[in-house]
């Protein structure tokens, strides 16, 4: 179990939606698309979950919400996926100015980081005490929201896409995990044909300063990823520790041994 539904869910979602549309600049909805009715969007979300029990959800539960929120979006260029690298991928992506992540889209921005679950036979219709983390009898319940979000986002990506992976995962986890959302819902849904197909998958592998290097490009799970990408007909590139990412990482691990070089170079001017 996790925390219960975030207090103020409705106000937060409607507020984030207005902020997204009228203030935020970064990745914006396509030219010519009209501003959305934030209350209507919230209500589409709410009607999928309120008074419902968690384990009855599946990957179509939030269908109408995604349709309303993203239905007028036909293509996303410079899409960025991440797995085990949330913070650095988002710093680098820079709110969609550099790269566009799922969380830069309206549908995900409205609920990113929040918790929610419905409760049957309850006046509020939400469980504010605790939400299930897993549904034992129906794994699709766990993927109802973020599974569909990931799938929908991947289907919109076009041209070259970028994936930030963690080559220093602890506890035997791999960079390209068997059970990651990236592997289960994003990679399989990249478009292989048509004008807006994906042409190339660029993998960026990060190694945390002062942590063990578990995998590099061309090794273990990354080798498997390379085969999968090529079998789907996409070009493949993989780079270990690209410089611009090392600099972002070192700004937070300034004293790590691996960041000495960056320190010296930056002080030489």
Using rule CB under 6 A, residue 5 touches ligand NGD: no
| Residues 222-241 close enough to bind ligand NGD by CB under 6 A | none
Residue with structure tokens 């799922």? 102
Binding characters for ligand NGD, 113-152, by CB under 6 A (x = yes): --------------------x--------x---x---x--
SS3 breakdown of the chain: % helix, strand, coil, rounded to 5? Answer: 40, 15, 45
Nearer to ligand NGD, 39 or 139 (CB): 139
The CB-side HSE value for 211 (13 A sphere, CA atoms) comes to 15
**Chosen residue from 5, 105, 180, 221 binding ligand NGD by CB under 6 A:** 180
Q: How many whole angstroms separate alpha carbon 269 and alpha carbon 218? A: 36
* Rounded least distance, CB 268 to ligand NGD, Å: 36
The tokens for 107 are 């549908």
Shortest separation between residue 84's beta carbon and ligand NGD, angstroms = 5
Q: What is residue 102's three-state secondary structure? A: helix
Distances (CA, A) of 56 to 51, 163, 252: 11, 32, 42
| Residue with smaller CB distance to ligand NGD, 190 or 246 | 190
By rule CB under 6 A, what string of x and - marks binding of each residue 63-102 to ligand NGD? ------------------xxxx-x---------------x
């Amino acid at each position: 179990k996790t925390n219960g539904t975030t207090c103020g869910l409705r106000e937060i979602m409607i507020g984030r939606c207005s902020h997204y549309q009228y203030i935020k600049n970064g990745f914006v909805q396509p030219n010519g698309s009209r501003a959305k009715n934030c209350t209507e969007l919230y209500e589409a979300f709410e009607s999928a979950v309120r008074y419902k029990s968690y384990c009855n959800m599946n990957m179509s539960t939030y269908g109408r919400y995604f349709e309303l929120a993203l239905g007028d979006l036909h293509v996303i260029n410079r899409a960025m996926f991440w797995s085990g690298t949330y913070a650095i991928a988002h710093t680098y992506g820079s709110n969609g100015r550099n790269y566009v992540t799922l969380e830069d889209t309206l549908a995900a921005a409205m609920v990113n980081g929040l918790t929610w679950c419905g409760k049957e036979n309850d006046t509020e219709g939400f469980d504010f005490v605790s939400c299930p983390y897993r549904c034992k009898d129906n794994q699709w319940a766990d993927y109802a929201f973020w599974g569909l979000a990931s799938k929908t986002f991947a289907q919109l990506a076009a041209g070259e896409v970028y994936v930030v992976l963690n080559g220093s995962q602890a506890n035997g986890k791999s960079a390209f995990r068997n059970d990651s959302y990236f592997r289960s819902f994003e990679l399989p849904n990249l478009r292989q044909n048509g004008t807006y197909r994906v042409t190339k998958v660029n993998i960026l592998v990060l190694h945390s300063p002062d942590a063990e290097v578990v995998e590099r490009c061309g090794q273990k799970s990354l080798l498997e990823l390379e085969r999968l990408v090529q079998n789907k007909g996409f070009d493949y590139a993989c780079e270990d520790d690209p410089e611009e990412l090392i600099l972002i990482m070192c700004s937070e691990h300034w004293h790590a041994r691996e960041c000495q070089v960056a320190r010296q170079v930056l002080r030489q001017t």
